[in-house]
Structure 1
Amino acid sequence: MDWSLFLTNLWDLLVLWSFTLVFALPLKKRDSRWRSRAALWAGAGSVLFLILVLLLGPGALWVRPPLFFALSAVLFRLCADLTGKSVLYCAVWATVLSDLVFKYDALLRHFLSGRPLLLLSVCTVLLVGLVAGVGLTIARWMPDKGTYHTGPRQLTFALVLWTISLGANLFWAVWAPPSDQITSWALLLLIKFYCATVLYLQHGLFQKSAIRQELAMMNTLWMQHKAQYDLSKETIALINRKCHDMKHQIRALEAVCAGGAREQYLKEVEQSVRIYDVLAKTGNEVLDTVLTEKSLFCEASGIQANCVADGRLLDFMDPVDLYTIFGNALDNAIESVSAIEDRTRRIIDVQVYSEKQMLVIQIINPIAHELTFDAEDLPVSTKEANGYHGFGLRSIRHTAEKYGGFMTVKAEDGAFYLRLLLPRSPRRAPGA
Structure 2
Amino acid sequence: LYINGELMGQMGNPDPDNYQEQIQNRVFTFEGKGTAEIVIAVTDKHSVSSGIQYVPVLASPFKVNIIRGLSLMIAVVFMAFTFFVLIFSVYMYMRTKKVEFGLFALLCICVLGYGSYPILHSFVAVKVQPCYGMEALFYYLMFAGVMLVQQKILGGEERIPEILAGVAAAAGVMVFVAEMLCSRAQSATGLYLISKLTEILKWAAAGYLLFRSVKEIKQKYSNVLLVGIVVYAASLAADRIWRLYEPIIGGWFMEIGAAVLVASVGLTLWMELANAYRFQLTYGEYSRQMEQKLQIQKQNYEELTEKMDEISRMRHDMRHHLRTIMSYTQQGKYQEMMEYLQEYASVITEEEKLICYCRNMAVDAVIHFYAGELRKKGIPFECDMMLPQNIGISDTDLCKIYGNLLENAVDAVKDLLTENKPYVKMLTKVKNRKLLIEISNPYSNEIQRREKVFYSTKHEGFGIGTASVAEVVQRMGGYVVFNTEESIFKVNIFLPVKTVQ
Q: Aligned ranges for residues 22-41 of structure 1 at < 5 Å?
A: none
Q: TM-score, normalised by structure 2?
A: 0.45
Deviation at 1:230, TM superposition (A): 3.7
**Partner residue of 1:199 out of 225, 245, 266:** 266
CA distance in structure 2 between the aligned counterparts of 1:407 and 1:159, rounded to whole angstroms: 45
- Distance 1:195-1:246 versus aligned 2 partners, 3 A rule: same
SS of corresponding position for 1:275 = coil
Q: What is the TM-score normalised by the length of structure 1?
A: 0.50
- Give the secondary-structure state (helix, strand or coil) at the position aligned to 2:454: coil
For 1:322, the equivalent position in structure 2 comes to 398
CA drift at 1:394: 5.0
- Which residue of the partner structure matches residue 454 of structure 2? 378
In the alignment, does 2:491 pair up with 1:418?
Answer: yes
> Does the C-alpha gap of structure 1 residues 327 and 66 become closer, same or farther in structure 2, counting only changes over 3 Å?
same
Counterpart check, 1:337 vs 2:337: no
The answer to whether the 8 Å contact 2:430/2:436 transfers is yes
Give the 3 Å change call, closer, same or farther, for CA 198–296 of structure 1 in structure 2: closer
Q: Residue 227 in 1 paired to residue 294 in 2? A: yes
Task: Provide the rounded CA distance (Å) in 2 between the counterparts of 1:292 and 1:393.
Answer: 21
* Match in the other structure for 1:141: none
- What do residues 402-428 of structure 1 show as CA deviations (whole Å, max 9, x unaligned)? 646665544321212234454546xxx
- Residue 352 of structure 2 is matched in structure 1 by 274
Residues 168 and 191 in structure 1, CA contact (< 8 A), matched pair in contact too:
no
The structure whose RCO (Cα within 8 Å, separation 6+) is larger is 1
Where does structure 2 lack aligned partners over 5 or more consecutive residues? 1-59, 122-131, 136-238, 329-335
Distance 1:242 1:336 in 2: 36
Q: Which residue of 2 aligns with 1:287?
A: 363
* Preserved CA contact (<8 Å) 2:82 2:262: no
- 3-state SS, counterpart of residue 351 of structure 2: helix
- Partners of 2:449 and 2:107 in 1: CA distance: 30
The whole-number CA distance in structure 2 between the counterparts of 1:419 and 1:292 is: 21
From 304, 327, 350, the counterpart of 2:380: 304
Structure 2 SS opposite 1:279? coil
Q: How far did 1:343 drift?
A: 7.2
Distance 1:58 1:287, change over 3 A: closer
Change (3 A) 1:162 1:353: farther
> CA offsets per residue over residues 347-372 of structure 1, 9 Å max, x none?
211123457776443311112x2424
C-alpha contact 2:374 2:414 (8 A) present in aligned 1? no
Inter-CA distance 2–275: structure 2 relative to 1 (3 Å threshold): farther
CA drift at 1:202: 1.7
Per-residue CA deviations over 1:5-25 (Å, capped at 9, x if unaligned) read 78679xxxxxxxxxxxxxxxx
| Cα distance in structure 1, aligned partners of 2:378 and 2:276 | 44
Assess, with a 3 A threshold, how the Cα gap between structure 1 residues 234 and 192 changes in structure 2: closer, same or farther.
same
> Which residue identity does 2:352 align to in structure 1?
R
1:363 is the counterpart of 2:439 = yes
Query: Relative to structure 1, is the Cα distance of residues 194 and 297 closer, same or farther in structure 2, using a 3 angstrom cutoff?
Result: closer
Residue 187 of structure 1 is aligned with which of 242, 254, 262?
A: 254
CA contact (8 A) 1:337 1:365 kept: yes
Structure 1 unaligned regions, length at least 5: 10-52, 71-87, 93-148, 426-432
Q: Displacement, 1:185?
A: 2.7
Q: Distance in 2 between matches of 1:3 and 1:272?
A: 98
Residue 350 of structure 1 is matched in structure 2 by 426
Distance of aligned partners of 1:417 and 1:65 in 2 relative to their CA distance in 1, 3 Å threshold: same
Distance 1:273 1:301, change over 3 A: farther
For the residue of structure 1 that corresponds to 2:362, the secondary structure is helix
For the Cα contact (< 8 Å) 1:336–1:366, is it kept in 2? yes
Other structure's SS at 2:427 match? strand
State which drifts further: 294-303 or 397-406. Answer: 397-406
Q: CA deviation at 1:272?
A: 3.8
Whether the 8 Å contact between 1:229 and 1:320 is mirrored in structure 2 is no
The whole-number CA distance in structure 2 between the counterparts of 1:405 and 1:316 is: 14
1:202 partner SS: helix
Count, aligned residues: 300
SS in 1 for 2:457: coil
Q: Distance in 2 between matches of 1:228 and 1:5?
A: 76
| CA–CA separation in structure 1 for the residues paired with 2:466 and 2:78 | 43
Structure 1 counterpart of 2:156: none
In structure 2, relative to structure 1, the CA distance for the partners of 1:303 and 1:353 (3 Å cut) is same
By percentage of residues, which structure has more helix? 1
Alignment RMSD (CA, Å): 5.4
Aligned pairs (5 A) from 1:19-418? 63-65=76-78, 165-171=111-117, 181=246, 185-242=252-309, 252=321, 269-270=347-348, 272-276=350-354, 278-280=355-357, 282-312=358-388, 315-342=391-418, 345-353=421-429, 359-367=435-443, 369-373=444-448, 377-381=453-457, 392-393=465-466, 395-397=468-470, 399-400=472-473, 403=476, 409-418=482-491
Indicate the SS of the match to 1:362. strand
Q: CA deviation at 1:305?
A: 1.7
Q: Could you say which structure has the larger radius of gyration?
A: 2
Q: Secondary structure at the match of 1:311?
A: coil
